[in-house]
A and B are shown apart, each in its own frame.
Chain A
Amino acid sequence: EVQLVESGGTLVQPGGSLHLTCSASGFIFSTYNVVWVRQAPGRGLEYVSGITNSGGNTYYADSVKGRFTISRDNSKSTAYLQVASLRAEDTAIYYCVRSSGYYDFWGQGTLVTVSS
């Protein structure tokens, strides 16, 4: 069974940083791209960042470029999202998603709340 489990979300002050983790199982992690998608409370879905299966290419939404860093460790079947210089508008559930172009498996998400 394919599973993606996010962790690391918490309450953080504006300007702070967090390290989000996505632990994958049930498939050959190194053969899939991974993306992070977020959803602010009561809002729609927003693509945040993506990384190719080898980790050789990374992509970012303009809204997070320069502040967020995506990475992965295929030996651990884990992806990461380092988020920094956090703003109130970054408050959201962050989903880790397996990508085949389309997003076929989603984790349950981890909540990041940015507030003083």
Chain B
Amino acid sequence: EIVLTQSPGTLSLSPGERATLSCRASQSVSSNYLAWYQQKPGQAPRLLIYGASSRATGIPDRFSGSGSGTDFTLTISRLEPEDFAVYYCQQYGGLPRTFGGGTKVEV
């Protein structure tokens, strides 16, 4: 099983700042099949990024994903008030599919 470790656990930033979230895998993620999701309180998760760097439909271009192999990054270039949420990475290159523990981006 591929274990995904997200860091930091909590990121305290202000609107307009840049957020950099890390996701490290215990082994290489096949074909860089790594996705990022955003979850706000009381809501279901929403797909942001798939294939490590492809934005999902309707996702603003301030969200970008990068990385390969075992190290992946989600960057939010300039935080908007609606971006404060919890972010999860997930690998779908191997079975079982696994999620990271999440990073909370807070004001």
A50: which B residues are within 8 A, CB to CB?
97
- Annotate A85-116 by CB proximity to B: 1 below 8 A, 0 otherwise: 00000000001000011111111110000000
Q: Could you tell me the dominant secondary structure of chain B's interface residues?
A: loop
Bound-state Cα–Cα, A98 to B95, Å: 17
Q: Which of A61, A62, A106 contacts B45 (CB 8 A)?
A: A106
Bound-state Cα–Cα, A35 to B95, Å: 13
CB pair A35 B97 closer than 8 Å: yes
Q: How many residues of A contact B (CB 8 A)?
A: 20
- Annotate B64-104 by CB proximity to A: 1 below 8 A, 0 otherwise: 00000000000000000000000010101001111111100
CB pair B44 A106 closer than 8 Å: yes
CB pair A44 B44 closer than 8 Å: no
Could you list 24 A-B pairs, sorted by A, with CB under 8 Å?
A: A35-B97, A44-B88, A44-B100, A44-B101, A45-B37, A45-B39, A45-B102, A47-B96, A47-B97, A47-B98, A59-B95, A62-B96, A95-B44, A100-B50, A102-B33, A102-B47, A102-B50, A102-B51, A103-B35, A104-B56, A106-B45, A106-B46, A107-B44, A108-B44
